[in-house]
Amino acid sequence: MKIAMIGTGYVGLVSGVCFSDFGHEVICVDKTPEKIEMLKAGQVPIFEPGLDALIEKNVAAGRLSFSTDLAAAVDGAEAVFIAVGTPTRRGDGHADLSYVMAAAEEIAQAITGYTVVVTKSTVPVGTNRQVKQVIARANPKAEFDVASNPEFLREGAAIDDFMRPDRVVVGVQNARAGEVMAEIYRPLFLRDFPIVTTDLESAEMIKYAANAFLATKITFINEIAALCERVGADIKQVSKGMGLDGRIGNKFLHAGPGYGGSCFPKDTKALARIGQDHSVPMQITETVIKVNDETRRRMVEKITDMMEGQLAGKTVAVLGVTFKPNTDDMREAPSLTIVPALIGAGAKVRVVDPQGRREGEALLPGVQWMEDAYKAAQKADAVVILTEWNEFRALDLKRLARKMATPALADLRNIYSARDAKRAGFQRYISIGRSDYIAED
């Protein structure tokens, strides 16, 4: 099938490339000429493991191309996917749909023959019906249907998520559109991956409900971790004991500095706003947003307490600033709250991140970027682990401690233990939801 993918951000690029690997002819469109030129030159504007090789393979096979010409890409396409940004709108928490509607108007003018216009972007309930109205108004003669096909890609594991999904959700209004969507996802159907076909509104709601629930699990375990610190319990053991219950599961029960990224922050805010607009307050989701913000501030307090209230003039090495490992995404990362707070308290901050510098330089002014953890720790007063990149999971703690002026480790991902820290020579150690007392062997 011929597919046009409008938008080459994270979702659009990964989805377009994977569809081409299914055997479809895919044109990825973006309004930014520099991004398209990069892609044509074989350079990938985002970091996602394995994406560069998959692009090279499908470009070479003639199934994948990149363009700034939306009209040419849509002409003759059997399906057009809208995968543009829907950021939180300033002031009211709503998802900003201006990019979606602008894309719909352009698509309307370029449609030739029957086309299914598919919203891949995360959008509030009712958006696909608005897209249909926009297209019908802009081109009354257009023969088309709309479909909702929300994405469930984890950054850092997106290709595997696309190729081996837990489920594919498709919202349609009639059988004809459903048949087109079934053909697009035929390779997954043949391998018995679940395809959930439903109405437009349910498909839209599934995305928001799923993300809000996962954000709730993260926030719940972070609250329990704070209580564990007061009562002497170990959050790792608590999480394990909870997660073994099949009704709960062990995923997203890892205590940390709070959720971030492109999805959970904006989707929880959007769901809360949708509830307010329909007089059904999403009280749990609203509390999740509040507690997540408090969790980040609590991390700053923990670091400050570890330094006995004295951050002014101290050198702090921060390991990891992306919101999670295996991505270069800095959107809503906990580091964007924690690092400026450390600088504001007078600390000199050094930063190490395998992929975060490209975005981080503009977002974290005033920090010094270093090549590795050991150079960053040289004569430092504290090391803070913020993102659990593999290279930070396998640190030589003895070497790290020897380089520091005052060996102090804030392990905000619970990678190590107080005993590990003591044996390595650290005088102070803090983690999340566990005793920070460095016991004698």
Total domains in the chain come to 2
pLDDT of residue 10: 92
Percent share of the chain, pLDDT over 70? 99
Tokens of 417: 């233990």
Tokens of 281: 């307050």
Residues 7 and 117 in one domain: yes
For the entire predicted model, the pTM comes to: 0.92
Residues 45 and 184 in one domain: yes
pLDDT in tens, 319-342: 999 999 999 999 999 999 999 999
User: Of the residues 141, 169, 198, which one is the last residue of a structural domain?
Assistant: 198
| pLDDT of 392 over the 70 cut | yes
The DSSP symbol for 192 reads T
pLDDT of residue 307: 95
433 assigned to a ligand binding site: no
Residues 290 and 278 in one domain: yes
Task: Print the domain residue range for 278.
Answer: 199-441
pLDDT in tens, 65-89: 999 999 999 999 999 999 999 988 8
Average pLDDT over residues 280-295: 97
236 assigned to a ligand binding site: no
User: Of the residues 174, 198, 222, which one is the last residue of a structural domain?
Assistant: 198
Instruction: Quote the CA–CA distance of 241 and 133 in Å, as a whole number.
Output: 50
253 assigned to a ligand binding site: yes
308 assigned to a ligand binding site: no
- Length of the chain, please? 441
Residues 343 and 236 in one domain: yes
In contact, 240 and 246? CB cutoff 8 Å:
no
8 assigned to a ligand binding site: no
Q: Could you tell me how far CA 76 lies from the centroid of its own chain?
A: 33
List b or e across 181-215, with b for residues whose CB sees 16 or more CB atoms inside 10 angstroms: bbebbeebeeeeeebebeebeebbbbbbebbbebb
Q: Give the chain's mean pLDDT.
A: 95
Q: For residue 93, name the pLDDT band (cuts at 50, 70, 90).
A: confident
Residues 77 and 137 in one domain: yes
For every residue of 228-276, DSSP letters joined together read HHHHT--HHHHHHHHHTSTTT-STT----S---SSSHHHHHHHHHHHHH
Q: For residue 94, name the pLDDT band (cuts at 50, 70, 90).
A: confident
**C-alpha to C-alpha distances, 282 to 102, 287, 294, 303, nearest whole angstrom:** 30, 9, 19, 33
Residues 162 and 279 in one domain: no
Q: Among the options 18, 28, 228, 263, which is catalytic? A: 263
207 assigned to a ligand binding site: yes
Residues 408 and 272 in one domain: yes
Residues 83 and 173 in one domain: yes
Average pLDDT over residues 134-159: 96
122 assigned to a ligand binding site: yes
Residues 149 and 267 in one domain: no
pLDDT of residue 437: 57
Percent share of the chain, pLDDT over 90? 96
Residues 363 and 407 in one domain: yes
Instruction: Quote the CA–CA distance of 24 and 188 in Å, as a whole number.
Output: 13
pLDDT of residue 441: 45
pLDDT of residue 438: 52
375 assigned to a ligand binding site: no
Residues 154 and 220 in one domain: no
423 assigned to a ligand binding site: no
252 assigned to a ligand binding site: yes
Residues 219 and 176 in one domain: no
324 assigned to a ligand binding site: yes
Please state, as a whole number, how many other Cβ atoms lie within 10 Å of the Cβ of residue 354: 17
User: Of the residues 153, 176, 198, which one is the last residue of a structural domain?
Assistant: 198
214 assigned to a ligand binding site: no
- What CATH code is carried by the domain that includes residue 407? 3.40.50.720
Reply yes or no on whether 228 is catalytic: no
pLDDT in tens, 22-37: 999 999 999 999 999 9
153 assigned to a ligand binding site: yes
